[in-house]
Each structure stands twice: as C-alpha cells, then as structure tokens.
Amino acid sequence: MKIVQCLLCKKECKLVNGQRGDCRVRINLNNRLTTLVYGKPCAVHVDPIEKKPMFHMLPGTTALSIATAGCNLHCKFCQNWEISQREPEDTINHDLPPAKVVQAAKNAACRSIAYTYSEPIVFYEYTLDSAKLAKAANIKNIMVTAGFINRDPLLELCKYIDGANVDLKAFTEEYYHKICGGELKPVLETIKTMHEQGVWVEITNLLAPTLNDDMSMSKQMCNWIMDNLGADVPLHFSRFWPTYKLKNLPPTSVEVITEARETALAVGLNYVYVGNVPGHEGNNTYCPKCNQIIIGRIGYMLTKYDIINGTCGKCGAKIAGIWD
C-alpha cells in the first residue's frame, strides 16, 4: 500500500488509501491525492470588499466571495466553524466550476473574487484555477487566509493573487499551538513571501480577552510588521465575539482594542484599524501626513472618499494600496 504525503501545508499529512488530511477535504484515493471540494463551494455571496477586511483595495466595490468546507487550522474562536470544521459531505454545496465563478462575478458586477470564509489554502486547486481565469478577465483576486501554507504552493498562487488579508492570530507559538492547532513561524513566512511577491497584504489580528490581548504581545507583533513589511501595511484589530469553543470569554472591550490601535500607531504603523466596532474612529483611513480622514467608514459603508489617483485629496501624500 502506497502512502501519499500532502505537501500543501506545514502539517504535511501522510495518508494511506482512503484517509483524509487534517483539513478534511484532501484525501488519498487510490494512491493519488484528491481534493473533494473542487468546484463545490458551500458559500457564495456578494460582499462589500470592506468585509474581508480589505480597506486599501478598491474601496466601495463588491467581491464575489466563495468558500468550501474544510480548514487546516482548528481555531477555538472560529466564526465560520459550521463550514470550516466540517467535511464537505456535511455542507450544502453548489456546483460552481472556476469558469462559472468568474461568470458569476461578472454578472454581479464584482471587481474582485474573494476566496474567504473558511480557508482558501485547503481548496487550493479551485482557488488557483479560478484566480487564473479571473486574472485573464481583469477581475482581481483576494485571499482571506490564515497563511498556513508551504512556500512552493504559495509562490504558485502569488502569481495570480492581487490582495490578501492574512489572519495573524497572535504572536506566540503557544497560542497557535493551543488555540489554533497550528504554528506561528510558517504564517510569518507566508506574510513576508506574499509581500515580497507583490501581493497587497493587509493583516488582521483578533484580540481575544485573556488569551492574546496583552499589549506587550501586540507591540512585539507591530514591531515585526514594521521591520519586515514596513509602515504602510494595514493592520486590523478585530473585536472577539464569543462563539464556537470560546463562549466562556466576554467580547473584547472597546478600551482594549483602542489601546491596541494606539500601541500600533505609536510603533509607527500608518494604517491601523478597529474591526467589529461600528462607528469607532479606527474604522476610518487617515492620511499619514496631514492626518485628515481620507476614507470615512461606518462598518462596511463608506461615508467619505478623498483619494485622488492614489494620493490624499487634501495634501497630496501617496496612500499605499490598490485604488483602480
């Protein structure tokens, strides 16, 4: 009996015939690695791009957002656990091959396709083929991912991905191990590789009370972003809401998330946001030079847009991002 080793993510599962990987969607079938979710999304929606969140990429536009079952991490706070922690047999799936994904995006006048909700890494082949067709049709591709992937598959994907929001869950290996079933180091490598390859990267950090809301950890993370990616990479602090296996914790307090934003700004990051707190001043984009609001937001809705040809409408400073 042959054993097949999946090399897609750092887990590198070794599978005997009939066995699935940790992600639940990649299986050794007759000694060939097979994906069970190609062209079978369980979620297909048209979302504001701000929901991903992508704040510096085509603001005010919509993204056709797709996901299949499965994930290679098992975060105890997962908001989408009903699909990410399920086998594809247990979700209601559509029949939507890559060509139809692109057609659906065109029909809905979406400027981009987002591979999101669960984990696009585990539906790699579907993401890759859809992204190739989308790029040819002048539609942008966005990955919303935890970034737990090996370097070679990532490099292949980066050729077609325009933007990514990477969920940097915390800044300790212990947190990744205990809360997510993963590792920190490969995620940091992914973020660096994407940035080097010219993918527009934004980072999300969910602050879970008592688990990763220590400001010294946040500061360490911000310093790493400054040193490795620069001040222009947007950072989104996201408010935790009790769900899945962490219903015992309270929501993140607005004070803590505000303090995290102030810490990141003090480190020198130019664009620091607060997510899941509608109306917070951290929903807006400020010009790093003149400090005026250049994109106003309430939740996912734009209330102001003052960027002209990628520059601040007030002072003319260059604003990093993909604007056209």
Non-local CB neighbours of 259 within 8 Å, separated by 6+ positions: 215
Distance of CA 319 to the CA centre of its chain: 21
Among 121-129, 167-175, 191-199, 308-316, which window interacts with other proteins (CB under 8 A)? 121-129
DSSP-derived letter for residue 93 is -
Non-local CB neighbours of 207 within 8 Å, separated by 6+ positions: 213, 218, 237, 238, 239, 240, 252, 256, 257, 260
4 binds other proteins (CB under 8 A): yes
- Residue with Cβ nearer other proteins (1 or 216): 1
Q: Map tokens 């002209």 to a residue.
A: 308
Q: Answer yes or no: are the C-beta atoms of 76 and 244 closer than 8 Å.
A: yes
The residue within the footprint of other proteins, chosen from 48, 53, 59, 88 (CB under 8 A), is 88
Q: Say whether the peptide bond before residue 186 is cis (omega within 30 degrees of 0).
A: no
The residue within the footprint of other proteins, chosen from 11, 22, 26, 131 (CB under 8 A), is 26
Rounded to a whole number of angstroms, the minimum distance from the CB of residue 73 to other proteins is: 18
Non-local CB neighbours of 169 within 8 Å, separated by 6+ positions: 75, 146, 175, 176, 179, 180, 182, 187, 205, 206, 212
The residue within the footprint of other proteins, chosen from 44, 79, 81, 125 (CB under 8 A), is 125
Among 31-39, 43-51, 104-112, 237-245, which window interacts with other proteins (CB under 8 A)? 31-39
Rg (CA), the chain: 19
Among 36-44, 178-186, 261-269, 274-282, which window interacts with other proteins (CB under 8 A)? 36-44
Report 90-109 residues binding other proteins (CB under 8 A). 91-93
124 binds other proteins (CB under 8 A): yes
27 binds other proteins (CB under 8 A): yes
Write the DSSP string, 88-151.
GGGS------HHHHHHHHHHTT-SEEEE-SS-TTTTHHHHHHHHHHHHHTT-EEEEEE-----H
Report 126-155 residues binding other proteins (CB under 8 A). 126, 128, 150, 152-153
35 binds other proteins (CB under 8 A): yes
Rounded to a whole number of angstroms, the minimum distance from the CB of residue 75 to other proteins is: 23
40 binds other proteins (CB under 8 A): yes
112 binds other proteins (CB under 8 A): no
**Binding-site ranges for other proteins (CB under 8 A):** 1-8, 14, 16, 18, 20, 26-27, 29, 31-40, 87-89, 91-93, 124-126, 128, 150, 152-153
